[in-house]
Chains A and B, each alone.
Chain A
Amino acid sequence: MTRKGYEGVAVAVPVTVPYVRYSIRAAHWWLARCISEILKSAGLKKDAIDGLSVSSFTLAPDTAIGLTQHLGLSPRWLDHLPLGGASGVVALRRAARAVQAGDADIVACIAGDTNHVDSFRLTLANFSQFARDAVYPYGAGGPNASFAFLTAYYMRVYGATREDFGKLCVAQRANALKYPHALFKKPLTLEEYLSARAIAEPLHLFDCVMPCAGAEGFLVLSEERAKALGIPFAALMGTIERHNAYAADPVQMRAGWALDREDLYAQAGAGPGDMDFVQTYDDYPVISLLQLEDLGFCAKGEAPAFVREHSFTHDGSFPLNTSGGQLSVGQAGAAGGFLGMVEALRQLTGQAQARQVKDAKLGLVSGFGMINFDRGLGSGAAILRC
């Protein structure tokens, strides 16, 4: 059966609650600010929100339903997505179906986390049963250790060098310098990248995201409604989602994108070469390389050559992570899974200011989440058009 398209769906109102390294507030505070910022930008009253999708790690012990009482919302459609970096794409595709089906008229998709001084350690220690039993007791390195394994393996098998990863990090920092909400405000040179201190070899300081507090959000509604409200929007052309793909691979060198990309491009009626920009999930640069391969921008193992051929600034030959990505903006927990989506909406609705990709019409956003044991389980991608 052919999948139904997303005709009539509008994605709009990209919102960022400015990040801070540490916050004494709870996740509820960040999510509340996110909702109120969305309402203000869209010119809506709270009661107009009849659908809510929430992603957060530090909201616990609450979930989305508790947040409705906390914020005095009364949605008729509610979703809680404990999917980390895959949450942005997944929130969008579910909300789009709800709007198409008439189960909700206006869905607010929000993601946010707080970051107390000790909360990252506590999140790691209790991330999943497999992590608690079979990863955390091994040095408690968190995702640094998991991605160090993947990076070392990728370097050995496909010949990537630290310079290749560094090129992405340096380009993303250049993008971030034009994004006011990025926590990193100083330029980064390749020399600085290479000489940074080791964290979990072969990963060094600038290969690792910095945990912080913050929130991101957007609205999903019908095109007619968006037009009536007079808000700029993007159309949703295609999406994919997959969990625990290629479970038999001994080490993760590909994820669900490789399985589903043809479906994605067929639904969108476009190919990789048509994209004006790409937002990958980039908690570590190696995972951006896997996405470029699995999403068909180059063949498996050829991302190092692809990186050497291109420049990745917003005005470069392959605009990538145009707001700086998590590596230069910061990782505000589950909001990291929304960062690329919010930036894509800004690019497609002409709100990207100094980092605007020229004539950006079509963009791809990719998500990746949840290192449950030795690999990220969730993957997804969406193609949007203005």
Chain B
Amino acid sequence: MLDKPKRKNPVLRTRLPTLPPAARSRAALGLTAAAALGRFELQQCRDCGTVQYPPREACQQCLSIHLQWHPQSGDGELLSSTLLHHSNDLFFRERLPWRLGLVQLDCGPTVVAHLHGGVPPAPARVRVAARLDRAGQAVLVALPEKETSNMADDRQLREFTCDPKFRKVLVTDGKTAAGQAIVKALAQAGAEIIWVGYAEPWKKFSGFDALSKVSQVSLLPLDVTDSKNVRELAAEIGGKVDILINNAEHHRAFGIGNRPGVETARAEMDVNYFGLLRLAQEFGPAMRARGADGLASAAAWVNVLSIYALANFPPHGTFSASMAAAHSLAQCLRAEMRPAGVRVVNVFPGPLDDEWNQLLPPPKVAAAGLAGAIVGALRDGVEDVYPGDVAQEWLARWRDNPKALERELSS
């Protein structure tokens, strides 16, 4: 079990982040695409069904070029293991010794995998999963066959996840039910400090007292539309934030024709897009510098977006546009945070069960459901999360045929 990290000695140098080897063939990026969603997929031949690994361009059995990525069971047998005491790569050299396993999957191939400390010596049954490493690329990890207590505390596994346990988190908006549920979930997950922002501090909001009672919580005035406020807060706590969760949102209904003027659209952009930009400019550099700061390093930046970011939902047309803009900026942020190994997690919920989605039919995402999805993504090292049945369905339709989804949403 992981011990609480000791208080940092401020005299010691903070190690600069290094990354594991990131180069991959285009074929291998299919593994990354699935791992980003928390899935374990391998190529399978459409014609003869053979499962392939490592990723390739043609079937090793029948030479078919029709290889498709399909979810696979990761069950397998550990054939052999090694403990590396030497590595040719800086990232691993700083983390030795490092345990690796050779696993034969029940679905066929033999794979090399990072080996969880809880797996007994070979032969042993294991469960192989795909995880994103600090370079943002998929790697395979072999886990104990059955969930064990404190499994997430494994030193190697923690390099692939952004577990909130013992980490210091900033949640940018504590005024909403969703924000408060996120804080509660983080507290339960063992976050060490949770800074909670709230705009317009002269107005008391419902839930304020309950938030104040959570021992890890520290409430701070934060308005993401106020550049000076964001800058000053970053100067105060930016060097300590390990996980930043930006859930500040401005949401109004209607598209173009039903509301004159640009004020509402501008307000949505000011929070949803420029708010993210302000936070990224002020908090990003400090988090990038702390990507390798021990067991509780800077680890993740979470953007709570909307499934409307993928395709415009005309009844919420300007909000959709602001979320599409925020999504695009989040991809830029992801690229800029990657050299530090800090993961950008984008959350695309279906409509939340709140005032602004009153007229939408169920199912809607409950505040606790959103919070659980965020903490789950951090623990599992997932990069893109689509909480709720609506989001899952839209995602499936969008992946299948984006043009068809556009028509379906406008009818």
Task: Write the residues of chain A forming the contact surface with B, with a CB cutoff of 8 angstroms.
Answer: 120-121, 124-126, 129-130, 132-142, 144-145, 148-150, 152-153, 156, 197-203, 247, 250-251, 373-374
* Distance to closest chain B CB from A255 (angstroms): 15
A148–B25 contact, CB under 8 A? no
- CB contacts (< 8 Å) of B87 on chain A: these are 139-141
Which residues from chain A contact B91 at a C-beta distance below 8 Å?
Answer: 140
Is A201 a contact partner of B83 (Cβ separation < 8 A)?
A: yes
Q: What are 24 pairs between A and B in contact, CB < 8 Å?
A: A134-B53, A134-B55, A137-B20, A137-B133, A139-B87, A140-B87, A141-B82, A141-B84, A141-B86, A144-B84, A145-B100, A145-B112, A148-B84, A149-B102, A150-B80, A152-B81, A152-B122, A197-B85, A198-B83, A199-B84, A200-B83, A250-B79, A251-B110, A373-B54
List the interface of chain B (C-beta within 8 A of A). 20-25, 27-28, 53-55, 60, 79-89, 91-92, 98, 100, 102, 104, 110-114, 122-123, 133, 135, 137, 139
Question: Do the beta carbons of A199 and B85 come within 8 Å of each other?
Answer: yes
Cβ–Cβ < 8 Å partners of A199 in chain B: 84-86
Minimum CB–CB distance for A144 against chain B, Å: 7
Closest chain A CB from B88 CB (angstroms): 4
Rank and list the top 6 A-B pairs by shortest CB-CB distance, nearest first.
A140-B89, A148-B82, A134-B54, A133-B28, A153-B80, A250-B104
- Residue with the highest number of chain B CB atoms closer than 10 Å, among A124, A130, A200: A200
Q: Once bound together, how far apart are the Cα atoms of A285 and B384, in whole Å?
A: 46
Contact residue among A130, A201, A247, A373 (Cβ-Cβ distance under 8 Å from B82): A201
The contact of B28 among A120, A125, A134, A374, by CB within 8 Å, is A134
Q: Which residues of A contact B85 (CB under 8 A)?
A: 197-201
Contact A250 B110 (CB under 8 A): yes
- Contact: B98 with A139, CB < 8 Å? yes
Neighbouring A residues of B112 by C-beta, 8 Å? 134-135, 138, 145, 149, 373-374
Residues of A within 8 A of B122 (CB): 152-153, 156
- Chain B residues near A134 (CB-CB < 8 A): 28, 53-55, 111-112
Which secondary structure dominates where chain A touches chain B?
A: mixed
Do A251 and B83 touch across chains, with their CB atoms under 8 A apart? no
> Contact: A125 with B23, CB < 8 Å?
yes
Instruction: For B102, give its contact among A140, A197, A251 (CB under 8 Å).
Output: A251
CB distance from B227 to the nearest CB of A (A): 40
Q: Are B24 and A132 in contact (CB under 8 A)?
A: yes
Q: Bound complex: CA of A201 vs CA of B96, how far in Å?
A: 12
Known contacts A144-B86, A374-B112; is-contact A137 B21 (Cβ 8 Å): yes
A120 to B80, CA, bound (A): 25
Q: Which residues of A contact B54 (CB under 8 A)?
A: 129-130, 133-134, 373
A residues near B82, Cβ cutoff 8 Å: 141, 145, 148-149, 152, 200-203
Contact partners of A373 in chain B: CB under 8 A: 54, 112
B190 CB to closest chain A CB (Å) equals 28
Contact yes or no, A140 B21, CB < 8 A: yes
CB distance from B74 to the nearest CB of A (A): 15
* Highest count of chain B CB atoms <10 Å: which of A126, A142, A152: A152
Question: What is the distance, in angstroms, from B75's C-beta to the closest C-beta of chain A?
Answer: 14
Complex Cα–Cα for A64 and B246 (A): 57
CB proximity of A208 to chain B, nearest CB, Å: 9
Question: Which residues from chain B contact A139 at a C-beta distance below 8 Å?
Answer: 84, 87, 89, 92, 98, 100, 114
